[in-house]
Chains A and B, each alone.
Chain A
Amino acid sequence: MTKSEKPVRINKQNRIKRTREDWAVDIFVYAMAALIFFATFYPFYLSIVLAFNEGKDATYGGIYFWPRKFTLDNFTELIRDSAWGNALLITAARTVLGTIITVFFTCLVAYGLSGKDLLFRKFYMGMIIFAMYFSGGIIPYYMVLRTLHLTNNFLVYIIPSALNSFYLIVSISFFQDIPKELAESARIDGASEMSIFRKIILPISKPLLATIAIFTAVGQWNSWYDTAFFTQDKSLRTMGYLLMTIINRSNLSQSAAGDAYAMTVANSTITTVSVQLAAMIVAVAPILVIYPFFQRYIVSGLTLGSVKG
């Protein structure tokens, strides 16, 4: 009892009297905070609600906070469609493989460049920085992919993104902060540079690896662009791409026939929109689920980025 009263008394003595302005600012700030919170989550929430509602029923509108006619049909339809199953597989594969390769390759190159007495280091760095700001544009880039037979190839998801200049620069400055003695003593013991990199540098750089891995994985998972423009093969379609085509198609049908947007499927409660919603939920679910765990690396990632290489 006394414990809880004591700090209150001290506070009362020391606190400068709250003015009307303080109250006004507080009310405004908390109201805005609530609004931001609501605006951030409501789109996700409503989509989940609608995805679990019968598609035909949803076309009458009026669903805001709770499913009116609960169903799992939209998700079973999604699973039945083999295109989605394959897309999920491809997306998962590119996310896992792409992330591993980007993290490893970017860090390997960064390790090479982190040695301050590396010959031609200035020249290499210049090349990297220049390539960050200037590009040939998408068409010449496509030409290169075509020449390398990367178009219509699963590797187009993995190889061209294997080196990320931004993380490269971040990693270089991270590695430069690692005490030199660690690598030096291993070198004296006769370890090769590759084993120093794998057994000493990588294990003590876990926060860096986590940050790069998270951003790369999210990018890989969300990507639709490369599928849309660099592949034609149906078996290479990703979740993001399939969603994109559905959205583009419903845009079209909406402009052509207005309310025919939610095309119903015969003898079923589902509509194209309700299945699209189920797909959207499947596509964002992994991000929503892991977000609470990875969010602590996000801020550190951004501040790592502000360190100049």
Chain B
Amino acid sequence: MEKSSKRPWYVVFWRQRHLQLFTLLGIAFLIIFSYIPMVGILMAFKNYDISTGVKGLFTSEWVGLKYFVEFFTDYNSLNIVRNTLVLSLVKMVFTFPLPILLALIVNEIKIGSVKRLVQTASYLPYFISWVIVAGFCQIFLQSNGVINSLLISLGVANEPLQFLTGSKYFIPIAVITSCWKDMGWWAILFLASMASVDPSLHEAAQIDGAGRIKRILHITLPGIRATVTVVLILALGNLLGGGLGGSNFDQSYLLGNPGNNDVSEIIQTYVMKVGLSKGRYAYAAAIGLCQSVISVLLVMTSNFFSKKVTGDGLF
């Protein structure tokens, strides 16, 4: 031990050169695909032309906060920022508690095979692409679809509701589809944590006459508190991306249309449209940067609370 620590670093480095090479391949990859884009944020402050490539980042002239001013004076921007916040917050409120509820239900199933079956089924949708989920939405929600037929035959509606193009339906559809898709996946974590609750606690409570609801409230739920905290922090860190499932972009892009654009357009979809479709790269990068800054702040804040609450941060 003493010997190796006294050796100059290049000797050690040379001895582990193969492992260093494997590692450095990965680091080079990160530099190219993660760190250069970070430097690329510079373009948000520059009159940047994409055809000049990475080099143009440094040669193009500075324009200061021009694009930021432009975005925030645009009549649309307030709407887009509001949509992003509303979609993110509403989804968080609904999609966070549901996996816990699902886990509680599955945990109360006492027949092992049924339990496994329901749980396995519940996380299948996690593996289905958002494109397919958007397709399901169309099949179910179109004017002659199952939901409209049902509503009409029940007498709830007199004529087909325009679910897909009506602004007031977008947020509920977004919430329901994210629950459908990601609920089972996140329930896995809660179920695993419920399984580690000491069974003797349940037995003791049972002998003392605690019913099942009491045991759920006073044993199971307190038992998973730490997991709930960690998952909540993770979800808050990705609030603007769409919380647990990170699905805001997919939903807005795939379910958004001129009919519901006033509520479905969010920062991420706007960046894509302005940037890649209309070719206003620097402007789009500036808007994207605004969201990144908020996201970074959210990550830092949730990490701070994570350290406070669980004594362990993500970094």
CB within 8 Å of B: which residues of A?
Answer: 16, 19, 21-22, 25-26, 29-30, 32-33, 36-37, 39-41, 43, 46-47, 50, 59-62, 64, 105, 108-109, 111-113, 115, 117-119, 124, 127-131, 133-144, 146-148, 160, 162-163, 165, 168, 192-194, 197, 218, 221-224, 229, 240, 243-244, 247-248, 250-252, 254-256, 258-259, 261-262, 273, 276-277, 280, 283-284, 287-288, 291-292, 295, 298-299, 302-303, 306
Q: For A280, list chain B residues within 8 Å (CB).
A: 132, 135-136
A298 to chain B: closest CB distance in Å? 7
Q: For A37, list chain B residues within 8 Å (CB).
A: 117-118, 121
> Is A62's CB under 8 angstroms from B29's CB?
no
Q: For A60, list chain B residues within 8 Å (CB).
A: 144
CB within 8 Å of A: which residues of B?
Answer: 9, 12-13, 16, 18-27, 29-30, 32-41, 43, 50, 53-54, 57, 102, 105-106, 108-110, 114, 117-118, 120-125, 127-132, 134-136, 138-140, 142-146, 148-149, 162, 164-165, 180, 184, 188-189, 192, 206-207, 211-213, 237, 254-259, 268, 271-272, 275-276, 281-282, 284-285, 288-289, 291-292, 296, 299, 314-315
> Is A299's CB under 8 angstroms from B132's CB?
no
B35 to chain A: closest CB distance in Å? 7
Q: For A252, list chain B residues within 8 Å (CB).
A: 257-258
Contacts A46-B139, A112-B20, A229-B272 given; indicate if A138 touches B109 (C-beta within 8 A). no
Set A109, A131, A224, A288: member contacting B131, Cβ < 8 A: A224
> Is B131's CB under 8 angstroms from A247's CB?
yes
A135 to chain B: closest CB distance in Å? 7
A114 to chain B: closest CB distance in Å? 9
Set A25, A61, A111, A247: member contacting B149, Cβ < 8 A: A61
B195 to chain A: closest CB distance in Å? 11
The complex places the Cα of A261 from the Cα of B275 at a distance, in Å, of 30
Q: For B212, list chain A residues within 8 Å (CB).
A: 21-22, 25
The complex places the Cα of A221 from the Cα of B180 at a distance, in Å, of 20
The complex places the Cα of A29 from the Cα of B275 at a distance, in Å, of 49
> Is A131's CB under 8 angstroms from B128's CB?
no
> Is A140's CB under 8 angstroms from B41's CB?
yes
> Is B19's CB under 8 angstroms from A111's CB?
yes
Set B124, B134, B144, B145: member contacting A247, Cβ < 8 A: B134
> Is B16's CB under 8 angstroms from A250's CB?
no
Contacts A32-B105, A137-B285 given; indicate if A244 touches B131 (C-beta within 8 A). yes
> Is B118's CB under 8 angstroms from A143's CB?
no
> Is B140's CB under 8 angstroms from A43's CB?
yes
> Is B105's CB under 8 angstroms from A29's CB?
yes
16 new A-B contacts at CB < 8 Å, known A33-B114, A137-B40, A138-B275: A61-B144, A108-B26, A109-B23, A112-B18, A112-B25, A136-B38, A137-B271, A137-B291, A142-B275, A143-B54, A168-B26, A247-B254, A252-B257, A273-B138, A299-B192, A306-B189
